[in-house]
């Protein structure tokens, strides 16, 4: 192995410089990650499929292009992809046995964009089956372990994605969030997780969970890498009519701007019932933002508990519709192969959409959704961003979800309101508990305010660069 490669300190930004300076080749870099995967996977189980052969082939092609002086945003950079993104001719399971042998006949738009940018895909990462959950315990391919303590959960549903970055099995990962599925595992694994505004990144080819909520996004070590990846992913897609025509700004341009005078909102409701260690650490992080010149203001947000109820109804309803297409005829196995969690969600969704109950549940939820959206809009008249803890606790122990039909919703109580309103948000690592588990702070912005969210996160990261601390594995 090339000694110039130190995967424990690598970021996309650094690896690009190194590749350009010919310190090592993309093949050497890719091999280093494949070796790391072989070494730590027995402990972590972040991947469902490792695409070694294809990865080395892409790396070789990247090296040839680098030799010709080509410059692409991700040329030769090895990433992991969550297993709910359709990948042409490469097994895509969404962690469910229903799709055990499924090989998509096309690429998701996100994949097309990453490939066009020169990415090397290392493999497909584990998740909660169909993205239903916040632990990876509902995966049909085993639970992913938290790299900081393998007796603990990585969070979910993008648990494999977050763990692959924390465990240095990939420079960065692509995940997806419906309500918490990027920010919560990023929080529990101590990495940066960006949930873009709904419609900022195309859902075409992503195995659908909640179509009015699903937002693909990057999981990275640093904020700069997050901005770099969002730049590639963002934009209108003719294949997804819900993508926005709103112009995509240059996310790297204003990243390093100071945040003097920026108004930051905090809401007491978001600190209620939060673990004291998490609360104290996030309060400390807010003080850091104040030190950087930000002005902290109290805002009154709608109690998050109602967001759980709204989310539960809308998401289960959309799940029951989306999973109706799995008939076992055109592709995949038959409907008896759904796991318990999927069955539970399909049943609740079917019930709330059925004749006589639609108004009582689904329509009511859509109205409360309006109330939540208006509440955030009101708050953003006074402040630029809102900050608070990402989750009420640090990573829970393996097995915590046993018999808990509302586990995910309670773990994601603090991120569900912003997801329902389609807002942008990020998880920033801000410290560790006494037990050595990561603690995260979320920064929420209005719709299409990723630029501001990334700017605040970047400035915080300069004060407290926790990405330099790595788990022992």
Partner 1 sequence: MKIDVSRVAQLANLPLTADEKKKLAAQLEETLTYIDQLNEVDTKNILPTSQVTGLENVLAEDIAQPSLTQQAALANAQATDKGFFKVKGIFSDE
Q: By C-beta, is 324 or 469 nearer to partner 1?
A: 324
Return the number of the residue (253 or 343) whose C-beta is nearest partner 1. 343
Could you count the other beta carbons within 10 Å of the beta carbon of residue 220? Answer: 29
CA distance 102 to 326: 12
Q: Which of 257, 335, 433, 470 binds partner 1 (CB under 8 A)?
A: 335
Considering only the stretches 31-39, 76-84, 109-117, 331-339, report the one whose residues sit in contact with partner 1 under the rule CB under 8 A. 331-339
Rule CB under 8 A: is residue 90 a binding residue for partner 1?
Answer: no
First to last CA, the chain: 20
Rg (CA), the chain: 21
For partner 1, which residue of 24, 47, 130, 198 counts as binding (CB under 8 A)? Answer: 198
Token couple for 140: 């049909």
Cα separation of 10 and 347, whole Å?
Answer: 45
Rounding to the nearest 10 degrees, give the CA dihedral for residues 134, 139, 142, 144: -30
The catalytically annotated residue of 16, 82, 195, 279 is 82
313 touches partner 1 (CB under 8 A) = yes
CB of 231 to partner 1, least distance (A): 20
- Which residues contact residue 161 at a Cβ distance below 8 angstroms, ignoring those fewer than 6 apart? 46, 80, 81, 82, 125, 127, 173, 174, 175, 182, 185, 219
Q: Per CB under 8 A, does 156 bind partner 1? A: no
Distance CA 175, CA 185 (A): 10
Nearer to partner 1, 284 or 350 (CB): 350
Q: Are 19 and 66 in contact (CB under 8 A)?
A: yes
**Interface with partner 1: number of residues (CB under 8 A):** 58
d(CA 389, CA 393): 9
Residue 419 a catalytic site member:
no
Active site residue 82: yes
Q: Does 385 bind partner 1 (CB under 8 A)?
A: no
Region from 37-45, 136-144, 255-263, 320-328 binding partner 1, contact rule CB under 8 A: 320-328
Give the integer Cα–Cα distance in Å for 300 and 160: 35
Binding mask 392-421 for partner 1 (x = CB under 8 A): -------------xx-------------xx
Whole-angstrom distance, CA of residue 185 vs CA of residue 194? 11
344 binds partner 1 (CB under 8 A): yes
Residue from the set 265, 332, 425, 446 that interacts with partner 1 by CB under 8 A? 332
Helix 304-322 crosses helix 364-382 at what angle (to 10 degrees)?
Answer: 130
For residue 91, the SS3 value is coil
Write down the least CB distance from residue 66 to partner 1, Å. Answer: 31
For residue 201, the minimal CB distance to partner 1 (Å) is 12
With beta carbons less than 8 A apart as the criterion, state whether 141 and 49 touch.
Answer: no
- Residues serving a catalytic function are 82, 157, 181
Interface residues with partner 1 (CB under 8 A) are 101-103, 105-106, 197-199, 212, 238, 241-242, 244, 246, 305-306, 308-310, 312-313, 320, 324, 328-333, 335-336, 338, 340, 343-344, 346-348, 350-351, 354, 361, 363-371, 373, 405-406, 420-422, 447
């Amino acid at each position: 192995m090339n000694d110039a490669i130190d995967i424990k300190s690598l970021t996309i930004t650094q690896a690009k410089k190194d590749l350009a300076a010919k310190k090592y080749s993309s093949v050497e870099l890719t091999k280093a990650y494949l070796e790391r995967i072989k070494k730590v996977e027995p402990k972590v189980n972040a991947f469902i499929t490792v695409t070694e052969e294809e990865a080395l082939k892409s790396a070789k092609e990247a090296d040839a292009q680098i030799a010709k002086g080509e410059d692409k945003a991700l040329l030769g950079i090895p990433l992991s992809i969550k297993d709910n993104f359709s990948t042409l001719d490469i097994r895509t399971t969404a962690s469910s046995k229903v799709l055990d042998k499924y090989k998509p006949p096309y690429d998701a738009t996100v994949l097309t964009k990453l490939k066009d940018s020169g990415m090397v895909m290392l493999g497909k990462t584990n998740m909660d089956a169909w993205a239903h959950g916040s632990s990876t315990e509902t995966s049909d391919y085993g639970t992913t372990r938290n790299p900081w303590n393998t007796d603990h959960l990585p969070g979910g549903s993008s648990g494999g994605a977050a763990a692959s970055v924390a465990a240095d099995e990939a420079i960065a990962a692509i995940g997806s969030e419906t309500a918490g599925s990027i920010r919560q595992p990023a929080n529990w694994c101590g990495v940066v997780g960006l949930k873009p505004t709904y419609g900022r990144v195309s859902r075409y080819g992503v195995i659908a969970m909640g179509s009015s909520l699903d937002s693909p996004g990057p999981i990275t070590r640093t904020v700069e890498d997050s901005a770099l990846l969002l730049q590639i992913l963002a934009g209108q897609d003719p294949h997804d009519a819900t993508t926005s025509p709103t112009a995509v700004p240059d996310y790297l341009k204003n990243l390093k701007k100071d945040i003097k005078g920026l108004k930051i909102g905090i809401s007491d409701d978001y600190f209620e019932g939060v673990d004291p260690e998490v609360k104290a650490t996030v309060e400390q992080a807010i003080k850091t933002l104040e030190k950087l010149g930000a002005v902290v203001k109290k805002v009154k947000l709608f109690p998050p508990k109602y967001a759980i109820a709204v989310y539960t109804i809308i998401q289960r309803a959309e799940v029951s519709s989306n999973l109706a297409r799995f008939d076992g005829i055109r592709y995949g196995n038959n409907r008896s192969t759904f796991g318990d969690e999927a069955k539970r969600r399909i049943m609740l969704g079917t019930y709330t959409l059925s004749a006589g109950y639609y108004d009582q549940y689904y329509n009511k939820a859509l109205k409360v959704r309006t109330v939540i959206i208006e509440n955030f809009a009101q708050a953003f008249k006074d402040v630029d961003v809102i900050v608070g803890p990402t989750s009420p606790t640090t990573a829970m122990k393996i097995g915590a979800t046993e018999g808990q039909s509302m586990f995910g919703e309670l773990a994601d109580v603090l991120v569900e309101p912003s997801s329902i309103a389609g807002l942008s948000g990020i998880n920033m690592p801000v410290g560790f508990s006494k037990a050595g588990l990561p603690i995260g702070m979320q920064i929420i912005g209005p719709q299409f305010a990723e630029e501001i969210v990334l700017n605040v996160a970047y400035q915080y990261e300069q004060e407290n660069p926790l990405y330099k601390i790595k788990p022992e594995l």
